[in-house]
């Protein structure tokens, strides 16, 4: 297979499109991020890369807490809005109805089917970005998105972010079961 090198090096596919929630100077703010992944199981943890100078970093530094909210595709416009406009200039505090979990400084979006409240464990200097690594203190799921007590991906209907093409997509057809189709 003939190969070529590309300038766009950070080509992980697919990515999520999460809403990072913080409180900056007593005001709730949300920022869209796709550079987010799980960092460990015990303790449960996530990492999220935040560009230096971003308004949301102030909240992370101020409280040492943040939330990760998984939006459904029906919220794609709001997700895109939160990725375009900075909380420095736009008041995003009234955009969503929120609730609190264990932490009181990690605003959780009621309309998002999945909400993780996180406490900062590490902040790595990655040059252009801070890689914020947090313990997931609690994960909340909308009851309407459960099937037999388990989170149901088709009910959650998460946004799939595709870099380069810069498109939001839906989950596609199932092609196989994990820990199964590759058995000898």
Q: Which of residues 75-94 bind a second copy (CB under 8 A)?
A: 76-85
Two structure tokens written together for 153: 């991906």
**Shortest Å, Cβ 59 to a second copy:** 20
> Taking contact as CB under 8 A, which single stretch among the options 20-28, 55-63, 126-134 is the one that binds a second copy?
126-134
Q: How many CB atoms lie within 10 A of CB 72?
A: 19
Tell which positions 11-30 bind a second copy, by CB under 8 A.
11-16, 18
Residue 36 binds a second copy, judged by CB under 8 A: yes
- Closer to a second copy by CB, 26 or 144: give it: 144
**Shortest Å, Cβ 62 to a second copy:** 22
Residues 47 and 123: their CA atoms lie apart, in Å, by 9
Residues whose CB is less than 8 angstroms from the CB of residue 10 and which lie 6 or more positions away in sequence, other chains included: 35, 163
Residue 3 binds a second copy, judged by CB under 8 A: yes
Residue 155 binds a second copy, judged by CB under 8 A: no
Tell which positions 59-78 bind a second copy, by CB under 8 A.
68, 70, 73, 76-78
Sign of the C-alpha dihedral, residues 167, 173, 175, 180? positive
Per the CB < 8 A criterion, the answer to whether 85 and 173 are in contact is no
Residues 80 and 17: their CA atoms lie apart, in Å, by 9
């Amino acid at each position: 297979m003939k190969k070529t090198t590309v300038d766009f090096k950070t080509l992980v596919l697919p990515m999520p499109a999460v809403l990072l929630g913080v409180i900056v100077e007593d005001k709730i703010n949300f920022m869209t991020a796709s550079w987010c992944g799980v960092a460990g199981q015990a303790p449960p943890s996530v990492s999220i890369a935040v560009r230096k100078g971003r308004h949301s970093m102030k909240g992370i530094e101020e409280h040492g807490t943040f939330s990760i909210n998984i939006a459904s595709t029906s919220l794609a416009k709001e997700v895109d809005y939160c990725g375009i406009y900075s909380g420095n200039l736009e008041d995003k505090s009234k955009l969503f109805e929120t609730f609190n979990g264990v932490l009181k400084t990690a605003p959780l979006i009621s309309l998002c089917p999945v909400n993780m409240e996180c406490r900062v464990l590490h902040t790595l200097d990655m040059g252009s970005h801070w890689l914020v690594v947090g313990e997931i203190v609690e994960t909340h799921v909308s009851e309407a998105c459960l099937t037999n007590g388990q989170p149901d991906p088709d009910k959650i209907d998460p946004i799939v972010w595709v870099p380069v093409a810069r498109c939001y997509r839906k989950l596609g057809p199932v092609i196989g079961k994990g820990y199964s189709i590759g058995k000898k």
